[in-house]
């Protein structure tokens, strides 16, 4: 892994995850030598080392880690030291079988993989904190340690546990939330299907049931489960804060289809936001998913710079077909994260494992050794990051916000809804893709974020929304903003209760429309609009109630019914998209929205060329990432930092290359 140099610009910081425990000690010195060659300046150490650090309960063996940290320090390489609690050793489950997690059907998840613990287990909590105490006690003042890494990807494999320990913890969480059973019965709508609870002990997690499980019970269990994982982060961090002075982080997984951790709520519990991201190999446009993840991570970080804690130099091993990165892709990927606010890029893993579950995962040093495309590109990236030292600490320009809420995601994908084809991230990705193609950068933020600085706000599929957040969007438009809301938004409150009086409930007044009935489409069925657009999945019987009609259906179940509307509200306008537009129609819609809101791309660029601007006061840097197979010319004036060349008005970026221009001040 790698980090951009300090703002003094003297050193590049480059970071990897080191797993010295997998290798004989003779290899360690070569590791240091190769790291120095590649410009690596920070390594994460000890993430899955609990079983080695505490081979039997209460007996710690730190000798090997002492030597590793000393070697790294002597080599001038800094350390992001793990608390090592990510995966308990097998002895814990043997001594305390009740610490093992259970699925909804009662299946026990045994040791032999990783993260085999119940997140609510007091035994796990106690033993893990003992380990944190021991590790922090030993290394708090080690000169190599510059950062602490709590656990690893909390909730990746064990976020939902349905065991009796979890059931008891869930009841405690519900008591906190509702105070009494009347509150809970009301929120869960238990008058339906004879579900009324008369005693807390009757309540369980939503274990496997005969018919559709109560939706609010499911929603609360999802909230509880995210909170339980967060509680582990908080407990470790709290303890660390009494013992160490370095910043504390844990690696989030924003943007990887990871649905179950509400990172917006976790962000205050880390000193800096760090994130893991892996490309979806099956997606030929995977650079869009990367950009979305990065923009969302920045949103989670409140716009501050963040750290890419993990990505891969080439293929992973856990997708069905693990496509390797083509020459140049590693650099484009890494620098796209930097363009979007990462102050450092780190990789899993340093040296490709020769055994174990991830032996076919790429690394900085492949099985074939350093004389490889991967290691050469790693060295090139190290040099590039050094040249970008001055960018560190700057922020990213974005005039567009996309609202995102993990609770809305949980809510919209509960069972027995009008159509299984309505998924949460579908419209997010569609709108984001259209912006990306237009060269427009967006912040992906929680609906409670301050929207006043944005020219355009998009609300894709915001099914569940709080009154206060819906009101904030209304005020934003009233004050002159432009907003667009897509179908199946504003439907329920935070208890998943329908907002009555017509859809889209919470946004009816803002949008100036009232829908009386949904008309989801059959699988594969398409409809046409009178502006030439094609759509599928969703239509609805919508009545304008103050909004002007921009397009109506010409066929399908609702010919003549409006599909796209615009409502003037105060000094602004609110658009409603009542159907699932295809890509060309979404591109046209976004072009109109961007135009109406006065949003400009970071620079005019041909399709397939990513342009993003970072800014620090008056100083700006234009990142240009050419994903195409042709050379492109972009208007820019300043110094291109990767080559040192001046560009006076026009920048030439060869096929597949990246350029970063420190722009002349105008
Ligand atoms: C995650 C984990 C790593 C490793 C990688 C593989 O990000 O944190 O330990 O398993 O996935 O891609």
Average pLDDT over residues 599-627: 97
Substitution candidate for ligand 1 out of 44, 49, 151, 153 with most atoms within 8 A of CB: 153
CB atoms inside a 10 Å sphere around CB 26: 7
The pair of three-digit structure tokens given for residue 407, joined into one six-digit string: 């609770």
Q: Which atom of ligand 1 is nearest to the CA of 152?
A: 8
Looking at residue 437, which CATH number applies to its domain?
Answer: 3.40.50.880
**168, part of any domain:** no
The alpha carbon of 47 and the centre of ligand 1 are apart by a number of angstroms equal to 10
Q: Give residue 10's pLDDT.
A: 33
The alpha carbon of 443 and the centre of ligand 1 are apart by a number of angstroms equal to 26
Domain match, 493 and 417 both: yes
Q: pLDDT band at residue 1, thresholds of 50, 70 and 90?
A: very low
Q: Is the predicted pLDDT of residue 485 greater than 60, yes or no?
A: yes
Q: Is the predicted pLDDT of residue 18 greater than 80, yes or no?
A: no
**197, part of any domain:** no
Substitution candidate for ligand 1 out of 315, 348, 359 with most atoms within 8 A of CB: 348
Active-site positions read 153, 310
DSSP helix/strand/coil, 461: coil
Distance CA 615, CA 493 (A): 38
Q: Give residue 5's pLDDT.
A: 41
Q: Is the predicted pLDDT of residue 24 greater than 50, yes or no?
A: yes
Average pLDDT over residues 531-552: 98
Substitution candidate for ligand 1 out of 293, 310, 316, 317 with most atoms within 8 A of CB: 310
Q: Tell which of 597, 625, 654 closes a domain.
A: 597
The alpha carbon of 4 and the centre of ligand 1 are apart by a number of angstroms equal to 22
Q: Which secondary structure element, helix H or strand E, spans residue 574, and what is its range?
A: strand 572-577
Q: Which atom of ligand 1 is nearest to the CA of 310?
A: 7
Please tell me the least confidently modeled range out of 4-8, 166-170, 175-179, 381-385: 4-8
Q: Is the predicted pLDDT of residue 286 greater than 90, yes or no?
A: yes
**502, part of any domain:** yes
- Cis? peptide before 504, omega within 30° of 0: yes
Q: Tell which of 348, 367, 393 closes a domain.
A: 393
Domain match, 577 and 642 both: no
Q: Which atom of ligand 1 is nearest to the CA of 48?
A: 9
Domain match, 444 and 591 both: yes
Residue with tokens 């997606």: 283
The alpha carbon of 26 and the centre of ligand 1 are apart by a number of angstroms equal to 26
The DSSP string of 108-158 is: B--TTSS--S-TT-HHHHHHHHHHHHHHHHHHTT-TTEEEEE-SSSTTTTT
Average pLDDT over residues 338-354: 97
Domain match, 146 and 276 both: yes
Domain match, 493 and 554 both: yes
What percent of the chain shows pLDDT beyond 90? 95
Q: Give residue 4's pLDDT.
A: 53
Q: Which secondary structure element, helix H or strand E, spans residue 226, and what is its range?
A: helix 215-243
**369, part of any domain:** yes
Domain match, 26 and 123 both: yes
Q: Give residue 588's pLDDT.
A: 98
Q: Which atom of ligand 1 is nearest to the CA of 312?
A: 12
Q: Nearest C-alpha to atom 11 of ligand 1 is from which residue?
A: 348
pLDDT, tens only, 407-456: 999 999 999 999 999 999 999 999 999 999 999 999 999 999 999 999 99
Q: How far is C-alpha 86 from the chain's CA centre?
A: 20
pLDDT, tens only, 290-338: 999 999 999 999 999 999 999 999 999 999 999 999 999 999 999 999 9
Q: Nearest C-alpha to atom 3 of ligand 1 is from which residue?
A: 348
Q: Is the predicted pLDDT of residue 136 greater than 50, yes or no?
A: yes
Domain match, 327 and 243 both: yes
pTM of the full predicted structure? 0.97
Q: Give residue 347's pLDDT.
A: 97
**206, part of any domain:** no
The alpha carbon of 348 and the centre of ligand 1 are apart by a number of angstroms equal to 6
Domain match, 456 and 335 both: no
Q: Give residue 256's pLDDT.
A: 73
Q: Which atom of ligand 1 is nearest to the CA of 251?
A: 8
Provide the domain count of the chain.
Answer: 3
Closest CA to 206 of 220, 192, 194: 220
pLDDT, tens only, 159-205: 999 999 999 999 999 999 999 999 999 999 999 999 999 999 999 99
Domain match, 57 and 95 both: yes
Distance CA 52, CA 57 (A): 11
Q: Give residue 420's pLDDT.
A: 98
Return the CA Rg of the chain.
26
Looking at residue 644, which CATH number applies to its domain?
Answer: 2.60.40.1180
Average pLDDT over residues 472-500: 98
**362, part of any domain:** yes
Domain match, 466 and 353 both: no
Distance CA 237, CA 273 (A): 14
The alpha carbon of 358 and the centre of ligand 1 are apart by a number of angstroms equal to 9
CB atoms inside a 10 Å sphere around CB 80: 30
Q: Is the predicted pLDDT of residue 8 greater than 50, yes or no?
A: no
Q: Is the predicted pLDDT of residue 619 greater than 90, yes or no?
A: yes
The pair of three-digit structure tokens given for residue 421, joined into one six-digit string: 């084809």
**190, part of any domain:** no
Average pLDDT over residues 359-379: 98
Looking at residue 318, which CATH number applies to its domain?
Answer: 3.20.20.80
Query: The domain containing residue 299 runs over which residues?
Result: 2-159+228-393
Domain match, 355 and 413 both: no
Strand 13-18, strand 2-3: pairing: antiparallel
Domain match, 426 and 547 both: yes
pLDDT, tens only, 46-68: 999 999 999 999 999 999 999 99
Q: Nearest C-alpha to atom 12 of ligand 1 is from which residue?
A: 316
In this structure, what DSSP letter does residue 505 have? G
Distance CA 666, CA 664 (A): 6
Q: Tell which of 371, 393, 415 closes a domain.
A: 393
Residues enclosing ligand 1, CB less than 6 A?
A: 152-153, 276, 278, 310, 316, 348, 358, 361
């Amino acid at each position: 892994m790698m980090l951009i140099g300090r703002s003094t610009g003297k050193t590049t910081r480059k970071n990897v995850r080191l797993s010295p425990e997998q290798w004989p000690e003779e290899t360690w010195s070569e590791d240091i030598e190769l790291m120095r060659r590649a410009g690596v300046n920070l390594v994460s150490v000890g993430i899955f080392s609990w079983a080695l650090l505490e081979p039997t309960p209460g007996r710690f063996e730190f000798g090997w880690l002492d030597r590793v940290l000393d070697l790294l320090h002597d080599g001038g390489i800094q350390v992001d030291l793990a608390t090592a609690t990510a995966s308990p050793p097998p002895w814990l489950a043997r001594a305390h079988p009740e610490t093992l997690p259970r699925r909804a059907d009662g299946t026990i998840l045994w040791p032999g993989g990783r993260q085999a613990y119940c997140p609510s287990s007091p035994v796990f909590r106690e033993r893990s904190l003992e380990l944190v105490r021991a590790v922090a006690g030993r290394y708090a003042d080690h000169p190599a340690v510059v950062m602490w890494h709590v656990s690893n990807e909390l909730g990746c494999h064990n976020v939902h546990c349905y065991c009796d320990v979890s059931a008891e913890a869930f009841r405690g969480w519900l008591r906190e939330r509702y105070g009494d059973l009347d509150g809970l019965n009301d929120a869960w709508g238990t008058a339906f299907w004879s579900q009324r609870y008369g005693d807390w002990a009757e309540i369980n997690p939503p274990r496997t049931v005969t018919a559709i499980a109560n939706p609010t019970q499911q929603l609360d269990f999802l909230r509880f489960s995210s909170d339980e994982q967060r509680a582990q982060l908080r407990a470790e961090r709290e303890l660390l804060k009494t013992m160490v002075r370095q910043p504390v982080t844990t690696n989030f997984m924003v943007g990887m289809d990871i649905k179950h951790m509400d990172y917006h709520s976790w962000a205050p519990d880390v000193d800096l936001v760090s994130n893991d991201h892996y490309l979806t190999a099956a997606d030929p446009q995977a650079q869009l998913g990367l950009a979305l993840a990065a923009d969302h991570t920045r949103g989670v970080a409140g716009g501050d710079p963040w750290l890419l804690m993990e990505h891969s130099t080439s293929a992973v091993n856990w997708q069905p077909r693990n496509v390797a990165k083509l020459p140049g892709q590693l650099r484009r990927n890494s620098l796209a994260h930097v363009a979007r606010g990462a102050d450092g890029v780190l990789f899993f893993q340093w040296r490709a494992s020769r055994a174990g579950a991830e032996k076919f995962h790429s690394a900085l040093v492949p099985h074939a050794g350093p004389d490889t495309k991967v290691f050469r590109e790693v060295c090139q990236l190290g040099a590039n990051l050094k040249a970008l030292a001055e960018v560190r600490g700057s922020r990213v320009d974005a005039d567009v916000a996309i609202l995102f809420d993990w609770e809305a995601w949980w809510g919209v994908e509960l069972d027995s809804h009008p159509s299984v084809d309505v998924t949460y991230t579908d419209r997010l990705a569609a709108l984001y893709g259209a912006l990306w193609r237009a060269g427009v950068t967006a912040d992906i933020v929680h609906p409670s974020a301050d929207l006043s600085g944005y020219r355009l706000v998009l609300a894709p599929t915001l099914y569940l929304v709080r009154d206060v957040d819906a009101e904030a969007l209304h005020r934003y438009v009233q004050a002159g903003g432009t907003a667009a809301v897509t179908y199946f938004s504003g439907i329920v409150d935070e208890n998943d209760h329908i907002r009555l009086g017509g859809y889209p409930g919470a946004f009816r007044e803002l949008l100036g429309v009232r829908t009386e009935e949904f008309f989801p489409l059959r699988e594969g069925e398409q409809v046409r609009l009178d502006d030439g657009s094609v759509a599928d999945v969703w239509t609805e019987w919508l009545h304008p109630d103050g909004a002007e009609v921009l397009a109506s259906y010409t066929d399908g179940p609702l010919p003549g019914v409006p599909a796209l509307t615009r409502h003037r509200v105060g000094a602004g306008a609110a658009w409603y998209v009542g159907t699932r537009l295809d890509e060309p129609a979404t591109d046209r819609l976004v072009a109109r929205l961007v135009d109406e809101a006065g949003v400009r791309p970071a620079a005019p660029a041909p399709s397939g060329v990513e342009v993003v601007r970072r800014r620090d006061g008056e100083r700006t840097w234009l990142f240009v990432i050419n994903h195409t197979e042709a050379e492109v010319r972009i208007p820019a004036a300043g110094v291109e930092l990767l080559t040192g060349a001046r560009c006076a008005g026009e920048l030439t970026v060869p096929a597949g290359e990246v350029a970063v221009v420190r722009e002349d001040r105008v």
